[in-house]
Amino acid sequence: MSSLASKQGPRYRHTADESEPYETIGVEKLTPVIGAEISGVDIGKLVSEDARSNRQIDEIHRALAENLVIFFRDQHITPQQHLAFGRKFGELHIHPAAPHEGDDPALMKIYADKDSPRVNGEGWHSDVSCDLEPPMGSILHIKQCPPSGGDTLFANMYAAYESLSDRMKAYLDGLTALHDGEPIYRGLYANYGVADRPSYPRAEHPVVRTHPVTGKKALYVNSGFTRHISGIPRDESDAILNYLYKHAENPLFQCRFRWSENAIAFWDNRCAQHRALWDYWPHTRAGTRVTVKGERPV
């Protein structure tokens, strides 16, 4: 029997969304727990200043809060429009290591082909959680897809936290963990000709954070950046983190997005993790990512 199951059923029970209907966008859920495809939006037009676009931005923000990751198909946008869309949600974040496309360092390059030694985001993670103020959200625009494969998985960290036992929640309450970018980023982008920096970000964050918009608690450790829980023996930390990583990857918390050319994914790093699948070698997958600055986790 699954660790989430009992005679009464799963510990995490998703309740139906009873919110008001959307007025300017269509929202079709991928799963009851996480993910939705958005229709009725032309992002190229949306970035212009008018009353309708402002209303749509508000509803997109709401859809993100309710679904954690949202997807847009057939968005033929320029790099400038991609950047402008990100700025509708806040100041843009500059990646501490990755190469960028063109002149603007906020436009991160996403590229993998038959000669790539690795791809972006192969393991479960929350983007740049090693920053003192990790990103709020990431907006990925894929322009070239492989003929098959290359899906991205997303997992709901509210659900991961809520399904923990009360004893585990009590144990984790008040704990912090070190997130360190050094082991991940050093040498990572050498194939792009990117020189290493003298140092990379590291920060301590709560193991469980409270989302500043929804007020809900989310598990905030990930196997990509989290190194150890502070203030407890290292073997105990390893055991707890390994349990939490495995728990967070439960398929009950996930959705899976199959990319198409000119699709966009916008995810909330504060309450979701993601993993990109590299199952399309030797084919090419390419695009750009814009990331919105966040706040220090509490």
Per the annotation, the verdict on 289 as an active-site residue is yes
Per the annotation, the verdict on 125 as an active-site residue is yes
Set 125, 179, 211, 270: catalytic member: 125
Per the annotation, the verdict on 127 as an active-site residue is yes
Spatial CB neighbours of 256, under 8 Å, sequence gap ≥ 6: 30, 151, 152, 153, 154
Set 95, 127, 268, 275: catalytic member: 127
Per the annotation, the verdict on 100 as an active-site residue is no
Set 209, 211, 274, 285: catalytic member: 274
- Residues known to be catalytic: 125, 127, 274, 289
